[in-house]
Chains A and B, each alone.
Chain A
Amino acid sequence: MTMDKAQVSMPSDREVKVTRSFQAPRALVYRAYTEPKLLQRWLLGPPGWTMPVCEMDVRVGGSYRWRWRSNEDRTEFGFSGVFREVEPAKKLVHTEKYDAGTTGVGESGGESLVTVSFDEQGGVTTVTSLMDFGSKEARDAAVATGMTDGMEQSYQLLDKMLAEQ
């Protein structure tokens, strides 16, 4: 069943908010966000990437490590961080540090604070991820990272579209 599409907004100049609803109870959605075997099946990013490393120690002070690998050229990048708040099936707060790995895309080391909340209403769970990058520059760089190819594509499409008008 298809739910409403993900909504992306910028509540302040250093944050990004992503909201999406799922046709499932929040306990289950929470599992999909915290169990490595489940995370590895959906948190994959751009097409052609797999997630060979997914380590999760979901408790306050526990850490996690995610790493993605390109099927095409085997380059890797990742995120890691520490859980600051853990309220099962309700809320997760964790730091998130980017590691450009061997991709050379973006700058390593930027750390953001991510708050993920799970709200269920009538069997539908809405997940809200609020990412605080600490500064406007860091946020824009993070959003641009990993979508540079796509951005160029978008610009080309846009140029074409505008030229046709």
Chain B
Amino acid sequence: MKEPASERLDATFIALADPTRRAILARLARKEASVNELAEPFAMSQPAISKHLKVLERAGLISVAQEGQRRPRRLEVRPLAEASAWIDRYREIWEANFTRLDTLLEELQQKPARRSRKKS
């Protein structure tokens, strides 16, 4: 289960590494939209937008619905939540260490010099 999860996360991180793609996701978070509707506010050509959409789709961050003639794009929340849960967990491990370091540094500053270790 580890491998597929990690591959999926890679795709998610690559997809999120671009500001236009993040803006597209922010836009889709409000409401689903067609390629044309997405191209407009970003002042980009349709092919350029389509390229970004493909990356997002491959990462599973958006899906394409079929509504008659329209094929609106929708935001898919799950990969985002997975990516953030994954990074959060990693950050928590560090943060636990850093919180202890906060306490230690505070303590060291309260009782200075006298008990400091010899300099190398």
Contacts and interface: CB of A to CB of B under 8 A. Distances in A.
Which label, helix, strand, loop or mixed, suits the secondary structure of the B interface?
Answer: helix
Interface stretch (B2-10, B19-27, B34-42, B54-62): B2-10
Contacts of B89: 147, 150-151, 153-154
B90 A143 contact: yes
Contacts of B85: 151, 154-155, 157-158
Contacts, number: 106
A100 B91 CA distance: 21
B47 to A, nearest CB: 26
A154 B86 contact: yes
Interface residues of B, number: 36
Given A58-B120, A162-B78, A24 B91 contact: no
Contact of A45 (B97, B101, B105): B97
B30 interface: no
B81 interface: yes
Given A143-B90, A151-B86, A28 B97 contact: no
Contacts of A37: 117
Interface of B: 2, 6, 9-10, 13-14, 77-78, 81-82, 85-106, 108-109, 117, 120
Closest 10 CB pairs of A and B: A42-B100, A154-B85, A24-B105, A42-B101, A150-B89, A8-B91, A140-B6, A6-B94, A6-B95, A20-B98
